[in-house]
Chain A
Amino acid sequence: MHASIEQLLELRDKRPIAAEVFLHVEGCIACRQRLDGFGALRESLRALPDAPAPDLWRTISASLNTPEGIRRTKPDRYAYGLTVAASAILVAALAVMLKLRQEIINPTTSPPPAVAVTANPAILPDVAAAADPVLTSGAGPELVELVNRSHALEAALRALPERRVVQRAGTTATIMGLEDGVALIDYRLTREGRQLDTTQSRELWQRRVDLLNSLVNVRYAEVQPAAYQR
């Protein structure tokens, strides 16, 4: 009867083992090979290359000077919930951004503009655009509604407190992804504003509203941790 793996590992680690097992392994080529194999595997594990550690000193130093940073190290349900929500939103935002990028790269795939929304560019930089009577007069009620919702969400974002100095990398990445998505839409509205028909404008504004809505949700969740702190 050959020695078991557990017995061979005991032998490898030079721990006491039954004499008959020791004698068997001494005289058994198969067991000795396996024993040597376990030793070699341990050496291989120890020889695995290390990766360079990222330089997180600034973040750690900021955490040490911020009570929030120290509190952050405690496990909380908030972090779990926020991570799940942020991940879902990030996936959605990336999908929107990918689609937008594809459209920008291949503008020929878009149908030719049938109706210009307005003589003015379709881009509505912040609040000024919502009040633009020229745009809203020719855009239809749905588009006006989207524009108004977009500005309401932007106002809600501005009303939230500023972000903390120390942030979770995952949350920051999500927020940056959403902001990039909004910026990409704004870029497209600026560049192609005059050529966009009503449907295209509505689509872009709908995406803008969706992204801003996600952004508000993430930022709102971010400023709520105190409610879950233990």
Chain B
Amino acid sequence: MPRFSDLEVDEVTLAAARSGDSRARVGIYRRFSGPVFNLARRLLGGQAQAEEVLQDTFVEVLTNLNTYRGEAPFAFWIRRIAVNKCLMTLRSPWHSRRASLELAEDPPAAGEVTMHEDHGPCRMVDQVALERALAGLSDTSRLVVWLHDVEGYTHGEIAALLGRTASYSKSRLARAHARLQALLDNESVTEPCMQVSNNC
């Protein structure tokens, strides 16, 4: 599935959508619903909440098309709205209450400093285990990891979203990675590289 950075909408479609053309609007939805839904799914960790964000994001996008001035790519404008919706969900009393019963802060990872000898540069990470490890992070850590490592947000941008400093984002990312490594190591989900020659 394409990512936000791969998607764009031409000016003609955008103008038609602004004027209320339903085909153009459907086209925008079809093109961006996948990336929006998956971003929300990753940040929130739940299907139902991701669906709510998908719905709310497109209602806002399509009702505010006239406010898009083109300073940033259209895809990034949609992504920003989606991320804000996710943050609103994470900050909502309903989610906070649920999260308070779970992991608010990542506990210090036991294997933070050392790394097993057999975990060389070519190791492959099992996708199911990685999904599970991601789910084991706190909401904030998961958000920082995903926005930084996958969506390419800078620490400054993440800091602005969270109302914190860039240092906070950096340290959160480091702790999240330590936690991820620990979770993956604990589950023994890594497979050593089988290539004997080359880099391994």
Contacts and interface: CB of A to CB of B under 8 A. Distances in A.
Given A6-B170, A6-B174, A49 B115 contact: no
Given A37-B115, A51-B38, A51-B41, A42 B29 contact: no
Nearest to B130: A44
Interface stretch (A54-62, A197-205, A216-224): A54-62
Interface in B93-126: 93-94, 112-113, 115, 119-125
B47 to A, nearest CB: 8
A73 B1 contact: no
Contacts of B41: 51
Contacts of A49: 127
B36 A60 contact: no
B35 to A, nearest CB: 8
Given A5-B174, A64-B62, A37 B119 contact: yes
Interface string A77-108: 10110011000000000000000000000000
Interface string A1-32: 01011100110000000000000000000101
B130 to A, nearest CB: 6
Contact of A53 (B33, B113, B149, B178): B33
A90 B119 CA distance: 47
B171 interface: yes
Contacts of A57: 26, 29-30
A160 to B, nearest CB: 25
A162 interface: no
Contacts of B92: 75, 80
B14 interface: no
A17 to B, nearest CB: 12
Nearest to B109: A5
A73 B56 contact: yes
Contacts of A79: 94
A63 interface: yes
A165 to B, nearest CB: 14
Give the interface size class of chain A. Answer: 35 or more
A101 B130 CA distance: 40
A52 B1 CA distance: 9
Contacts of B119: 33, 37
Contact of B37 (A10, A33, A54): A54
B174 A33 contact: no
B13 interface: no
A37 to B, nearest CB: 6
Interface in A151-209: 169-170
Contacts of A77: 93
Contacts of A51: 37-38, 41, 47
Interface string B43-75: 000011001101110111011000000000000
Given A6-B173, A61-B22, 17 more contacts: A5-B177, A9-B170, A30-B115, A36-B122, A37-B120, A41-B125, A41-B181, A44-B124, A44-B130, A45-B134, A49-B127, A52-B34, A53-B36, A57-B29, A75-B88, A80-B92, A169-B48
The 4 closest A-B pairs by CB, nearest first: A36-B121, A53-B37, A50-B1, A44-B125
6 contacts: A4-B174, A10-B170, A36-B122, A37-B120, A44-B125, A45-B150
